[in-house]
Structure 1
Amino acid sequence: MTKLLPFVLLLLILGIKVDISFAQDSSLIFRTLDSARNLRGDTVKVNWLLEKGKTYGRYFDKRKTENPFFQEAVTLAQHLRIARTLFNVYNEIGIAKRNISEYILAADYHEKAIKYADETKEDHLRAIARNNTGVDYRRMEKPLKAFDYHFKALQLAEKVNDVRNICVAINSIGNINLSTGKYEDAISHFEKALQLERENNNDLGVAINLGNLGYAYQYLGKLDRAIDYYKKSLAVNTQLDNAMGKAICYNALGDAYKEKKDYTQALDALNKALEVEVGVDDKIHIAESYLNIGKCFSLMGKHEDARKYFQECIDLSQHWRFNYMLQEAYKALASDYKASGDFRRSLESADKSLVYKDSILDEKSALELAQMQAIYEVDRKDNQIKMLEHDKQLNELRTRRNVVYMLSLSGFLIMLAVGGFFYIRHRNLETKKQTLQLELRSLRAQMNPHFIFNSLSSIHRFIWSNNQEEASDYLTKFSRLMRMILDNTQYTFISLNKELESLRLYLDLEQLRCNNIFEYKITVSDDINEEEVMIPPMIIQPYVENAIWHGLVHKSGKGLLEIAVSLKDRTLTCLVTDNGIGRKKAMEIKEKKGQTHRSMGMKVTEGRIDLIRKINNTKEATVSITDLEDNEGRATGTMVTIVLPVEFIF
């Protein structure tokens, strides 16, 4: 049985196109190659070059010249140094070399593809590269090496459930077992592959594995079972309208029937193969059919008919230079002449068969030598590209190093200048801050005599208008307040609870002094810890004093003073609200009394807030006064909003 059928089946299972259109005009091809320069993106260019390399592959193969599209793709991919792109390039070129039987070169390219597939760490690509390399070594009749690659491919494909590569690996291992005489193992692998192809609805894969099972059973001598599998494969190929698949099946059936000595069925199948092969570009199948028909006629004793078909095979093979078919045809012709007793012609045919056998060996040796030389040239070119890339990278590194040195020096000088600027600025700011702090202390110190003067005036009035017992009580509270104020005003910041405590003492004194004409209410937000929040001392008291003496004392009826404290982030808001006579009426009263001077406490406090704003470099230290009115526009009091930056103990 011919060994050519499994070879073609393998081409089919790997998805290799046997019919590739190619351009006849070389100038058109090279114009197409030039158009790659207009493509954007190097990866896009590489993929485009590979596609065109496959399209025009047979044009260059026929002329035995290197494919410039592939050469350009390799150069560009080496420049890019992207592992996935390099894998694609070497994998495709390897397949192209295998298609023209340059298996040594194909294996070399596919082993490079393995290297770059491993760099991607994508098991799918790693399986593809190993399966292709396994096929190359199987064509070189190195089954052990081929098995090793296919087995590793199978492990990788199973790891990521890559069904396509699982099927390829199992089928290839089956073919290795078939070629090494392990027919039972081959059948086991073909059946596994067949089941997977059926589960994944891959009819072409089903047809191939059915045919492979036929070969295995034919080698075992189970011809009826082999014929059954060939027929099943034929049915699927017919359904697919796969001309090559049908030709292979008819030739296999013819060979099986011939082995059964059922020559009528054999000739019928082989003639059907010839009818189908008209639509197949690869003429070697026609030559094979002629050869098998001739063998059938020879076994039937119809020597003239046999020699006619042998001659058809020889003529076709000489035209297309199918040396292997010529060797087999002359060998069959020698057997036929010998069977008919024509020993002279038998010897002549045998000699011609040996000539072609020697020619095949010479061609094989020459091809291997050419491939080894090509591998050397490819490696040399790759090394040149790598050396150029290495030199380019070194130059780029030197340029980068010089740029880094210049940038570092410039950066250092800029940092030195900026650092010097900020140092001087910081020193000036510190000096300014110290000056402002001294001013603030001066203003804070002014608060003490101002407040003491007002309080003593109140005691004086109180003593003259009240009894001594109440005056004594007032004086006791006053002394406590004085001690607290003297303690508090030593510090830039005091806790909120101390400020509010002194404020309550002050309000108690003012209530006594004014005969309880007003009530006060102090509320603090629940989220404020009064002991942790720190504010400037005596900052609220002047506004409270102003509300009492300019708003509430002139009011008819009970007055109310409300102080509400809230905190947001690091900003304290204090609302001082009274239901007094309002600012407009208070101003009129002042003018009637001839009082035109501005409150010393208010003036000093505004100066303190302005300094706090400057020291903290913030706009958050503000005071705003709002006149409250009813629906008819009558004054209902005044609200002072004090916003201050605060500090925290922790």
Structure 2
Amino acid sequence: MHYSVRLLLLSLFILLLPVGKISAQNYNVDSLKQIVASAKHDTIKLGAISYILINIPGEGKEYNYYRDKFKSIANIGLKSNPDPETKKQYFSALGMYNVYKSYETMQTDIVTSIKYIDKSIEYFTKADDKRNLSSAYVGVGTLYYKIGNREKAISNFFKGLKQFELLKDNEGIAYASQNIANAYGSESSSKAVPYFFKALEYYKDESVLSLQDKAQKAYLLASLGDYYINAKDCGNANLYFEKSLAVAKQVEDGNLLSELYCRQGKAEERCNKNYAKALGLYDQALKIGTLDENRARALLNKGHVQLLQKSYKEAEKNLNEALVLERKVGYLNARKDALGYLYDLYKQTGNYKKAVDIIDRYNRAKDSLDEEKSHDALTKQQLTYDYEKRELQSKLAQERRLSEIKLENERQNTRKDIMIAVIAMIVVILIISLVYLYKYFKQKNIITANKNNELRQKLLLTQMNPHFIFNSVDNIQSLIYADKNDEAVNYLTKFSKLTRQILEHSTEDYITLDEELSMTKNYLAIQQLLYNNNFTYTVDADDDIDAEFILLPPMLTQPFIENAVKHGLKNTQEGGKINVRFYMHNDSLFFEVTDNGTGIIAKEDDNKHRSLATQIVTERLKGNANRKTIDIEISNIVDNEKVQGVITRFEIPYIKDI
């Protein structure tokens, strides 16, 4: 089969593999061969081989090697039990293999060619490859049409058209419609016309057509012209042949133009009786055509017109040349027509001896053609039988399938009843379990809430112990007696505010960091009064902290600040320092308090108080943060082996209120 014809026939078959990444525009044949040799994945190899097979001559050792390798890779891949999607790709590949085999045999054994296409339809169906399945239906239709079985040809064309329409594949719709039109048009049926124009719709926008699209459009317009010749509508025949030539000239393919000039010449000859113009078109066809088939057709048509014009010498020469070319291409119809024209020529010129020789050759050619038609008829009967047998087998398989479905439905109903009973039992067990869990967690929450309340009370007692209240009031009273009324009022205000804050916050789960800072400052101001201003203090939050939008559990820091004042500065008469700081580290909030006292010493009372504070706050943090361990770091500040004070720090769980 000539390469350009094979490429045209295969153009609508697209293997749905990862080769979508491998474009024939980006890789030449040698590059594709390298991909086959080096690719790790079978599907990529298959995609590359599919392009190689289209782009090398369709015969010879190289073609056979890659075609068989294509099949081998797909079969081995299927045996490896791939995932469902990969399995579909292997089935598509086997479908394409059978397409290749079909087109290899269509010129020599039409029955085998149809069997290969039927096999490809099975594989494309398994692969759910609707695009290639649609093309296969149209492909097998062309084979049935070739042997004269228009009924089955048109049936398959319509199957393909229906699938292409479901896929909204305009190119495929045009492909199927053109074949339907040609099938109807061969008998000048008016049914052909809508499908000719349906196919033409795809080629409407000239700006987006490829050269192959333009060639297809030219053939389609010429086929429409042939239809109008058969329908004896010469006006439309001439119109569509002119349109066909206009499109074909854009393609610049000599053989395409050669065939179209021959077709238009027949229109001038049969419709317009314009023999001079017909001869001019045949000469143009001979001038640019290189295929023996096209040249044989042009010489035959030219000889026939010259016979009609009684230009016997020129007619004899051209008809004999057509016979020589016919022997090379096996164009049996052309042989019969050429011999028939020569017989008429020799009769008209009185050369009866040659006429007798020619009539004998003509009869042999006619007999050969009749034998071929008989063979086609026998083939048609055989294929009809095979087709009907497949249809019967399909119906039997469908009946078996329906029986299996019915049996499976009964089994499913039984399984369904069992499943409903099991589900009902599970639901009952779940309900009982949920009731138990509800009661269990409710009791646990009550216990946890009681425990948290106890912790709040302990924290409240650490902040509002009677000794602290008595000393605070006593010191404020001393300021009043000392006639330091402004200072007394200031401290009284802070004390009352602190008392209110402690009482209010003791019932809250979270307060803002801004409120915590305010309460801490008030507390340290009162402590400063109690300790005769023998220390200074700072209370800060880092600049990257928005204190108004950070929520944290209340009353956590005060026990450690109290430790820093009461125990850290216990022996300090003046110059004491207390620094409180809140800072962020790795999106975690930390509290830190330092003093410049004598450090941690092994005194039982001090350690007992620190341990009590640590225990209470640790338990409180556990409840709020839902964490198993809370690390509270308390250590001496040492400089040159000398204790400079104590630092206490720990992470505080917080919530961002945005």
TM range (shorter): 0.7 to 0.9
One-letter amino acid of the counterpart of residue 509, structure 1:
I
The aligned residue for residue 618 of structure 1 is: 627
- Residue by residue over 1:448-507, the C-alpha shift from the partner in whole angstroms, topping out at 9 and shown as x without a partner, is 333324514744985899883469555664344334323332334344444333222111
Asked if structure 1 preserves the Cα contact closer than 8 Å seen for 2:638 and 2:645, the reply is yes
The aligned residue for residue 27 of structure 1 is: none
TM-score by length of 1: 0.75
The aligned residue for residue 353 of structure 1 is: none
Assess, with a 3 A threshold, how the Cα gap between structure 1 residues 649 and 79 changes in structure 2: closer, same or farther. closer
Asked if structure 1 preserves the Cα contact closer than 8 Å seen for 2:599 and 2:646, the reply is no
Asked if structure 2 preserves the Cα contact closer than 8 Å seen for 1:577 and 1:637, the reply is no
Alpha-carbon distance in structure 1 between the residues aligned to 2:403 and 2:92:
23
One-letter amino acid of the counterpart of residue 100, structure 1:
I
The aligned residue for residue 232 of structure 1 is: 284
* 2:194 paired with 1:194: no
Assess, with a 3 A threshold, how the Cα gap between structure 1 residues 552 and 247 changes in structure 2: closer, same or farther. farther
Alignment partner of 1:278: what SS? helix
One-letter amino acid of the counterpart of residue 501, structure 2:
M
- Residue by residue over 1:78-97, the C-alpha shift from the partner in whole angstroms, topping out at 9 and shown as x without a partner, is 56665334323321211111
Root mean square deviation, CA, Å: 4.3
Q: For structure 1, which segment, 365-374 or 260-269, has the greater mean C-alpha deviation from structure 2 after superposition?
A: 365-374
Fraction of identical pairs, as percent: 18
Which of 593, 599, 602 is the matching residue for 1:577? 593
The aligned residue for residue 548 of structure 1 is: 565
Alignment partner of 1:587: what SS? coil
Which of 126, 131, 137 is the matching residue for 2:178? 131
Alpha-carbon distance in structure 2 between the residues aligned to 1:34 and 1:625:
76
The aligned residue for residue 307 of structure 1 is: 356
One-letter amino acid of the counterpart of residue 612, structure 2:
K
Assess, with a 3 A threshold, how the Cα gap between structure 1 residues 605 and 96 changes in structure 2: closer, same or farther. same
Alpha-carbon distance in structure 2 between the residues aligned to 1:448 and 1:403:
65
Instruction: Map residues 427-576 of structure 1 onto 2, 5 A cutoff.
Output: 427-451=439-463, 452-456=465-469, 458-459=471-472, 462=475, 468-469=481-482, 474=491, 477-516=494-533, 517-523=535-541, 528=546, 530=548, 533-552=550-569, 558-565=575-582, 573-576=589-592
Alpha-carbon distance in structure 2 between the residues aligned to 1:407 and 1:163:
63
Assess, with a 3 A threshold, how the Cα gap between structure 1 residues 393 and 254 changes in structure 2: closer, same or farther. farther
TM-score by length of 2: 0.74
Assess, with a 3 A threshold, how the Cα gap between structure 1 residues 221 and 625 changes in structure 2: closer, same or farther. farther
Asked if structure 1 preserves the Cα contact closer than 8 Å seen for 2:95 and 2:122, the reply is no
Which of 643, 652, 657 is the matching residue for 1:644? 652
Alignment partner of 2:350: what SS? coil
The aligned residue for residue 196 of structure 2 is: 150
The aligned residue for residue 105 of structure 1 is: 152
Asked if structure 2 preserves the Cα contact closer than 8 Å seen for 1:433 and 1:615, the reply is no
Assess, with a 3 A threshold, how the Cα gap between structure 1 residues 527 and 423 changes in structure 2: closer, same or farther. farther
Which of 218, 243, 264 is the matching residue for 1:167? 218
Q: Shift of the alpha carbon at 1:251? A: 0.8
The aligned residue for residue 332 of structure 1 is: none
Alignment partner of 1:181: what SS? coil
One-letter amino acid of the counterpart of residue 254, structure 1:
G
Asked if structure 1 preserves the Cα contact closer than 8 Å seen for 2:229 and 2:267, the reply is yes
- Residue by residue over 1:278-325, the C-alpha shift from the partner in whole angstroms, topping out at 9 and shown as x without a partner, is 21134332233222222222222323212311211112332453689x
Assess, with a 3 A threshold, how the Cα gap between structure 1 residues 205 and 133 changes in structure 2: closer, same or farther. same
Assess, with a 3 A threshold, how the Cα gap between structure 1 residues 480 and 244 changes in structure 2: closer, same or farther. closer
Q: Shift of the alpha carbon at 1:179? A: 1.7
Alpha-carbon distance in structure 1 between the residues aligned to 2:109 and 2:153:
16
One-letter amino acid of the counterpart of residue 557, structure 2:
I
Which of 74, 77, 98 is the matching residue for 1:49? 98
Alpha-carbon distance in structure 2 between the residues aligned to 1:79 and 1:600:
81
One-letter amino acid of the counterpart of residue 653, structure 2:
P
Q: Shift of the alpha carbon at 1:520? A: 1.5
Q: Shift of the alpha carbon at 1:388? A: 5.1
* 2:257 paired with 1:206: yes
Which of these two proteins has the greater Rg computed from alpha carbons?
1
Greater relative CO, 1 or 2 (CA 8 Å, sep 6+): 1
* 2:134 paired with 1:87: yes
Q: For structure 1, which segment, 187-196 or 174-183, has the greater mean C-alpha deviation from structure 2 after superposition?
A: 187-196
Assess, with a 3 A threshold, how the Cα gap between structure 1 residues 580 and 74 changes in structure 2: closer, same or farther. same
- Residue by residue over 1:531-589, the C-alpha shift from the partner in whole angstroms, topping out at 9 and shown as x without a partner, is x65433211111222223343555687444343445799x87242232524xxx4223x
Instruction: Map residues 335-346 of structure 1 onto 2, 5 A cutoff.
Output: none
Assess, with a 3 A threshold, how the Cα gap between structure 1 residues 608 and 283 changes in structure 2: closer, same or farther. same
Asked if structure 2 preserves the Cα contact closer than 8 Å seen for 1:131 and 1:168, the reply is no
Alpha-carbon distance in structure 1 between the residues aligned to 2:310 and 2:595:
127
- Structure 1: unaligned runs, 5 residues or longer: 1-10, 23-31, 325-359
Alpha-carbon distance in structure 1 between the residues aligned to 2:127 and 2:421:
33
Alignment partner of 1:132: what SS? helix
Asked if structure 1 preserves the Cα contact closer than 8 Å seen for 2:557 and 2:591, the reply is no
Asked if structure 2 preserves the Cα contact closer than 8 Å seen for 1:83 and 1:116, the reply is yes
Asked if structure 2 preserves the Cα contact closer than 8 Å seen for 1:218 and 1:226, the reply is yes
Alignment partner of 1:519: what SS? strand
Alpha-carbon distance in structure 1 between the residues aligned to 2:412 and 2:91:
24
Assess, with a 3 A threshold, how the Cα gap between structure 1 residues 138 and 467 changes in structure 2: closer, same or farther. closer
Asked if structure 1 preserves the Cα contact closer than 8 Å seen for 2:582 and 2:589, the reply is yes
Q: Shift of the alpha carbon at 1:600? A: 3.7
Alpha-carbon distance in structure 2 between the residues aligned to 1:542 and 1:528:
24
- Structure 2: unaligned runs, 5 residues or longer: 12-56, 61-69, 79-89
The aligned residue for residue 333 of structure 1 is: none
One-letter amino acid of the counterpart of residue 296, structure 2:
A
The aligned residue for residue 53 of structure 2 is: none
Asked if structure 1 preserves the Cα contact closer than 8 Å seen for 2:299 and 2:319, the reply is yes
Count of residue pairs brought into register by the alignment: 577
Asked if structure 2 preserves the Cα contact closer than 8 Å seen for 1:21 and 1:58, the reply is no
Alignment partner of 1:143: what SS? coil
Alignment partner of 1:101: what SS? coil
Alpha-carbon distance in structure 1 between the residues aligned to 2:7 and 2:267:
17
Asked if structure 1 preserves the Cα contact closer than 8 Å seen for 2:560 and 2:593, the reply is no
Instruction: Map residues 265-280 of structure 1 onto 2, 5 A cutoff.
Output: 265-280=314-329
The aligned residue for residue 607 of structure 1 is: 616
Alpha-carbon distance in structure 2 between the residues aligned to 1:36 and 1:439:
71
Alignment partner of 1:91: what SS? helix
Alpha-carbon distance in structure 2 between the residues aligned to 1:65 and 1:211:
33
Instruction: Map residues 22-421 of structure 1 onto 2, 5 A cutoff.
Output: 40=78, 41-57=90-106, 60-61=109-110, 67-75=114-122, 82-139=129-186, 141-158=187-204, 161=209, 162-163=213-214, 165-219=216-270, 220-238=272-290, 242-321=291-370, 380=392, 382-384=394-396, 386-387=398-399, 417=429, 421=433
Q: Shift of the alpha carbon at 1:509? A: 0.8
Q: Shift of the alpha carbon at 1:374? A: 7.4
One-letter amino acid of the counterpart of residue 277, structure 2:
R
- Residue by residue over 1:247-280, the C-alpha shift from the partner in whole angstroms, topping out at 9 and shown as x without a partner, is 1111111112222221211111112112222211
